[in-house]
Amino acid sequence: MSSHHIVRDDQEPALIIANGSSCNPELLGQLLEWSPVVIVLDSAMERVMKLDIKVDVLLGDFDRDFDPSVYQIQQYPLEIVHTPDQNKTDLEKAFDYLIERKIPAVNVVWATGKRADHTITNLTNIVRYREKLKIVILDDHSKVFLLPKKFEKWYTATTPISLIPVGQVTGIRSENLFYPLSNDTLTIGYQTGSSNHVAKDGLVVIEHLEGDLLLMECND
Q: Are 123 and 191 in contact (CB under 8 A)?
A: no
Q: What is the pLDDT of residue 128?
A: 93
Q: Are 169 and 186 in contact (CB under 8 A)?
A: yes
List of residues 6+ apart from 170 with CB closer than 8 A: 185, 208, 209, 210, 211
Identify any residues that bridge with 64 across adjacent strands, giving them in sequence order: none
In tens, the pLDDT along 22-80 reads 999 999 999 999 899 999 999 999 999 999 999 999 999 988 788 888 998 889 999 99
2-16, 29-43, 203-217: the lowest-pLDDT one: 2-16
Q: Which three-class secondary structure state does DSSP give residue 17?
A: strand
* 4 pLDDT higher than 80: no
Compute the radius of gyration of the chain from its Cα atoms.
18
Other CB atoms closer than 10 Å to residue 5's CB: what's the count?
20
In tens, the pLDDT along 141-199 reads 999 999 999 999 999 999 999 999 999 999 999 999 999 999 999 999 999 999 999 99
- Amino acid, res. 153: K
Whole-number average pLDDT of the chain: 93
Q: What is the pLDDT of residue 1?
A: 55
Q: Which three-class secondary structure state does DSSP give residue 90?
A: helix
DSSP characters over 140-160? SSEEEEE--SEEEEEE-TT-E
Q: Are 29 and 2 in contact (CB under 8 A)?
A: yes
Band the pLDDT of 10: cuts 50, 70, 90. low
Q: Are 54 and 38 in contact (CB under 8 A)?
A: yes
* 3 pLDDT higher than 70: no
- Amino acid, res. 193: G
In tens, the pLDDT along 76-116 reads 999 999 998 888 999 999 999 999 999 999 999 999 998 99
* 9 pLDDT higher than 80: no
List the end-to-end C-alpha distance of the chain, in Å, as a whole number: 24
